[in-house]
Amino acid sequence: MKKIKETLYEAVYESGKILRYYFQKKFRIESKDIISNLVTEVDKKSERKIISIIKSNFPEHNILSEEIGVVESGENVKWIIDPLDGTVNYAHQIPIFCVSIGVEKEGEILMGLVYNPLSGEEFFAEKGKGAFLNKKKIRVSKERDLKKSLLVTGFPYNVSRNPNNPVIIFSKFVNMDIPVRRIGSAALDLCWTACGRFDGFWEYNLNPWDTAAGYLILKEAGGKITDFKGNEYSIYHQEILATNGLIHKQMLKVINKVY
């Protein structure tokens, strides 16, 4: 695991150099399936750098990355990569974004690292060894009252056509006078919940690269993660509820309440 950890840090830091260099410079921006779902040349440069570092150290390992998809090599270790989480923020010169990498073996996330190269904040976790922000151990908040909590969420790019109607869930919390933020990076949403800045986070239509690293970081910080029915969460599920554990049942009740 030592070599994996060293490779993980090298890949994230080298990616961070690219993100930092191009921030607030001119670069190509394209849309994917929906006009607001952006990809930039910086996403792709970051991704190529990360994969080249991983493959130079572990050519037999598999890759699952946002822009290129799956690269199978036959091994039971998979690197799950978001080379730039918060692309819309990045493209609009908003300094809230990160690179996020999780390492999975036989279906279990063993290690995760999320790094914002502008703030210098790095969130790291290894299974069974706790979660850390810049090498200092972190824990989720101790807030027990949902109405006193600070929540965070994100909307899918197809929010207007999403059958789950995420705006209705958002409105439920807002109408309870609960403050809800939307920072534009699911990986940071999870990490900021892990370190107690937020008390709870929910979102629809996420992908494995959005949550692989943050999932482990939150769990190792003492948090709780399920789907919207309270069932065990998988990074391959599209809905996530992540909390300090103390307000989890309260949030589930609000999410599933039928008016």
CATH numbers and ranges of domains, the chain: 2-137 (3.30.540.10), 146-256 (3.40.190.80)
Specify the pLDDT at position 73: 73
Closest CA to 165 of 37, 247, 255, 232: 255
Q: Read off φ and ψ for residue 103, nearest 5 degrees.
A: -115, 120
Count CB-CB contacts under 10 A for residue 53: 19
Task: Give the position of tokens 């410079």.
Answer: 25
CB 67 within 8 A of CB 39: yes
Say if CB 131 and CB 123 are below 8 A apart. Answer: yes
Q: Which two tokens stand for residue 157?
A: 């790019």
For the beta sheet containing 180-181, the strands, ordered from the edge strand earlier in sequence to the opposite edge, are 180-181, 151-154, 200-203, 240-243, 224-226
pTM, to two decimals: 0.93
Helix (H, G, I), strand (E, B) or coil at 85: strand
User: Do the bridges between strand 224-226 and strand 240-243 make them parallel or antiparallel, or are there none, so unpaired?
Assistant: antiparallel
φ and ψ of 258, to 5 deg = -110, 125
Digit-by-digit pLDDT tens for the chain (259 residues) are 899 999 999 999 999 999 999 998 887 777 665 655 667 789 899 999 999 999 999 999 999 998 888 877 777 999 999 999 999 999 999 999 999 999 999 999 999 999 999 999 999 999 999 999 999 999 999 999 999 999 999 987 655 555 567 888 999 999 999 999 999 999 999 999 999 999 999 998 899 999 999 999 999 999 999 999 999 999 998 899 999 999 999 999 999 986 4
Would you state the pLDDT for residue 101? 98
pLDDT of residue 42: 92
